[in-house]
Structure 1
């Protein structure tokens, strides 16, 4: 248990984490001894098992995990339909009592969930613990919103004497919950909160190589005591996800992942007899702006932390920084000094900031992008492989490009940030907005007019100013609603904020004449 240890919130970079590191020195090897290498079974995953290796070291086997067959997916959806007949009618008190039990289970198993994320994804210790802490806080925040809004029931205007009208929100039925690899705990819990707390049953699919986290999360829900069939787990890759999202028994999909996959789900739903809700977060480019009026040391630290935390494998990671030409040299010098002190190594170590890239495909994309930058621009820092380490370990890269390119427009999902020298904030905003994504953006300036210009002109849903902890990263439940604009998301309402839960319900009005 870590209740008496420092909590990680992504933003509290000045905290004394020494006691937590002491605890993790014992917890990490204990988790490896107790949980890694097992052969797992699951009710709706009866296909052949597959060994999954950790990105930390290809020789480190996480376990053998079965895959769901098409029949398993259909059976899981049928189970959810049966569970929905009970849970769709649950009262606010029923769901709040469940939320309290689930929070207790998550808090009890917080270490296990964090360690699973560390080994499955290659997260640093603090990133992994922060993710688990975030998941627990979601079970404080979202139930509080449900309670404060009285289950989103509203009395309406009385139109004639003796008549009453009420607006209520009703669950859709069954949601498919499809999670990504990079935040296997927090993003899974967030989407599950949205569906379950509003009265929907779910079929949940974790990322294919994050089955361990998915199975451990399923255990917390078992402890929380949901009625039979309300939560159902399937395991596997793209084929399983497609079978789940396209099953006729699914009433809605909540998804976090690539733009390509998200849009494929939308196209499928558009071809059905009526549209089902699709709540999707689909990536980002996330520019930062450093003006001539910035605190350069703070800007360098914030951009580096945001670009290279979790190996740049965050949808909110900063991957392009627009720097006023007047302070370009100062920024580059400060960035190199700060980034040069970041430790890239096996994330089980307490001093490590950045672990391995998640996959061979990411490593190939990183090497190709570094080669392109060498050919078309300049590599200012890093970009090389650390050969002495097993796994895909690379020094993060800062490159400079003379003009817009695919490197400044496309989501890369790796520790690679492009510097673009610009003459003034207006030109920088124009280029930074000229992308398909609109998740987050950040600025460093001590000028009030520049800050106003940024807040009014940046085309993104999550804006930060002068943050040393992360230029474009660090959202937290109840602190920063995480809402994607443009190609990032379509609902117009983000997770971690007050308007997330109503997306999982549709409105119904009750107009009743007194008898």
Structure 2
């Protein structure tokens, strides 16, 4: 457990060195154009550093380096146990630099330091370790072919993988992409969000220190342009993206316009959290419902943003959720006691504020709804709860902020219909005292992850595949299934006689 105080973290923040250059072919580089963008902290608006704003020349350089590394087999051609050793060294360095990485994540994205030290950075390191350990456990198949043949089915790396990742879990979401891609022998070009690029640059340097050969892992920060260029680039074999459904569509279109590269998308969500009247511990369910939407300031793709509650318990349950919400009092995220920091930037704050205004027009405000700590220069929003109808704007669209829509229902079939009546299908949950009922409801929910009598359980367990149905995307992060995204199946058929 990290014992540092608010004062300790402030002192460390005052002395931290922040790198803003791109990392290409084993070296830190300014953008070819010398353009930069401002990296400011959502905590107080202060400028942290200037970051390289990469363009076409930089993306070309990164892809060229990645392709050369792949073609020369400096990484893919390593013995499996040797690649495993390098990734394990990298994970160990991430743990060794945990405080530095956690601090960068907090300053850059506004995430509470208690979360970045206990969840984000350890989970990212664990992800790299987990896939490292899988490297020398992955085998192929011997096909039961005709006796005059020997048939082999093997997996080979796809080549150059581009990973375009979001700002809500900057390092962890990146690790979910680059760890399995590297484990299977690919070269990687990582494009972090311009809202939170700092840990990606730092871990690239740690990867080089751990022994990843030059060109195998590259980082090209910037706005939307590097992501678009990677999606269009003929030298990229596969692109993996986490972010909005709108941007995911654009990436898929760019891939189709270029070389039909493989596209994997983890997109939006509007997850339903269903509470049936027979669940015996409403206090526990209410606390979990608050955690499901207010953790990480609601900036979670699986956030339980729609709370579906049976009419018989609605009033009492909503009161309990409102009380639990008030425990998420926004504060300075370098204070280890704080559970809610600012949203990531002004753009996101204004988006959330607009949805709160819509909620005031469409439904009943139960609690919250105000901007707080405005005098700090940061972007802090109270945890907010509305009662609305299922067709309300805030109950239909992904907000990505600490705003909960409570929807009343009368029977289970109605709840399932409301839950599934969305373009998304990332996650859902059901609470019931009857396990048979809970299982039956879970089977009917069209979502990639369904929790029963919990929410976000097992989120740090790498064995569970993560991804969604419908417009929440395709493919899966985490688990051994993720390895399928970054490999090609090859059939080798040998004639014996």
**TM-score category, normalised to shorter length:** over 0.9
Which of 93, 100, 107 is residue 88 of structure 2 equivalent to? Answer: 100
Large movers: runs of 4+ above 6 Å: none
Which of 490, 502, 507 is residue 484 of structure 2 equivalent to? Answer: 502
Which of 456, 461, 469 is residue 477 of structure 1 equivalent to? Answer: 461
Mapped partners of 1:435, 1:39: distance in 2: 39
* 1:105-154 Cα shifts (integer Å, max 9, x gaps): 2222222211111111100122212110101111232233333333xx11
* 1:52 matched residue in structure 2: 39
Q: Secondary structure at the match of 1:279?
A: strand
Mapped partners of 2:463, 2:7: distance in 1: 31
Matches within 5 A, 1:217-256: 217-256=203-242
Which of 419, 425, 444 is residue 438 of structure 1 equivalent to? Answer: 425
Distance 1:105 1:240, change over 3 A: same
**Aligned residues of 1:31 and 1:112 also touching (Cα < 8 A):** no
Note if 1:276 corresponds to 2:261.
yes
* 1:146 matched residue in structure 2: 135
Mapped partners of 1:22, 1:296: distance in 2: 35
CA drift at 1:97: 2.1
Mapped partners of 1:39, 1:144: distance in 2: 31
Mapped partners of 2:408, 2:193: distance in 1: 38
* Alignment RMSD: 1.9
Distance 1:35 1:474, change over 3 A: farther
* 1:35 matched residue in structure 2: 17
Q: Secondary structure at the match of 2:339?
A: coil
Note if 1:196 corresponds to 2:206.
no
Mapped partners of 2:136, 2:114: distance in 1: 32
**Aligned residues of 2:352 and 2:400 also touching (Cα < 8 A):** no
Q: Structure 2: any 5+ residue segments left out of the alignment?
A: 23-27
* 1:10 matched residue in structure 2: none
* 1:352-379 Cα shifts (integer Å, max 9, x gaps): 1111111222222222222222212111
* 2:440 matched residue in structure 1: 453
Mapped partners of 2:441, 2:288: distance in 1: 17
Mapped partners of 2:93, 2:294: distance in 1: 32
**Aligned residues of 2:430 and 2:442 also touching (Cα < 8 A):** no
Q: Secondary structure at the match of 2:462?
A: coil
Which of 103, 108, 121 is residue 115 of structure 1 equivalent to? Answer: 103
Mapped partners of 1:222, 1:477: distance in 2: 27
TM-score, normalising length: structure 1:
0.90
* 1:14 matched residue in structure 2: none
**Aligned residues of 1:345 and 1:389 also touching (Cα < 8 A):** no
**Aligned residues of 2:297 and 2:341 also touching (Cα < 8 A):** yes
CA drift at 1:160: 2.0
**Aligned residues of 1:156 and 1:164 also touching (Cα < 8 A):** yes
Question: How many residues are treated as equivalent by the alignment?
Answer: 486
**Aligned residues of 1:324 and 1:422 also touching (Cα < 8 A):** yes
Mapped partners of 1:272, 1:388: distance in 2: 48
**Aligned residues of 1:476 and 1:496 also touching (Cα < 8 A):** no
Distance 1:128 1:474, change over 3 A: farther
**Aligned residues of 2:195 and 2:344 also touching (Cα < 8 A):** no
Which of 348, 354, 358 is residue 362 of structure 1 equivalent to? Answer: 348
CA drift at 1:338: 1.4
Distance 1:293 1:495, change over 3 A: same
Mapped partners of 2:254, 2:285: distance in 1: 43
Mapped partners of 1:310, 1:231: distance in 2: 28
Mapped partners of 1:24, 1:364: distance in 2: 28
Q: Structure 1: any 5+ residue segments left out of the alignment?
A: 1-5, 7-19
* 2:245 matched residue in structure 1: 259
Mapped partners of 2:80, 2:93: distance in 1: 20
Mapped partners of 1:92, 1:30: distance in 2: 39
Q: Secondary structure at the match of 1:500?
A: helix
Which of 310, 314, 317 is residue 300 of structure 2 equivalent to? Answer: 314
Note if 1:378 corresponds to 2:364.
yes
CA drift at 1:342: 2.1
* 1:412 matched residue in structure 2: 399
Mapped partners of 2:440, 2:229: distance in 1: 46
CA drift at 1:478: 2.5
Matches within 5 A, 1:50-199: 50-58=37-45, 60-85=46-71, 86=73, 87-129=75-117, 130-150=119-139, 153-161=140-148, 163-199=149-185
481-490 vs 408-417, which deviates more?
Answer: 481-490
**Aligned residues of 1:44 and 1:73 also touching (Cα < 8 A):** no
* 2:318 matched residue in structure 1: 332
* 2:495 matched residue in structure 1: 513
Note if 1:210 corresponds to 2:204.
no
Q: Secondary structure at the match of 1:283?
A: coil
TM-score, normalising length: structure 2:
0.93
Distance 1:24 1:88, change over 3 A: farther
CA drift at 1:326: 0.3
**Aligned residues of 1:77 and 1:249 also touching (Cα < 8 A):** yes
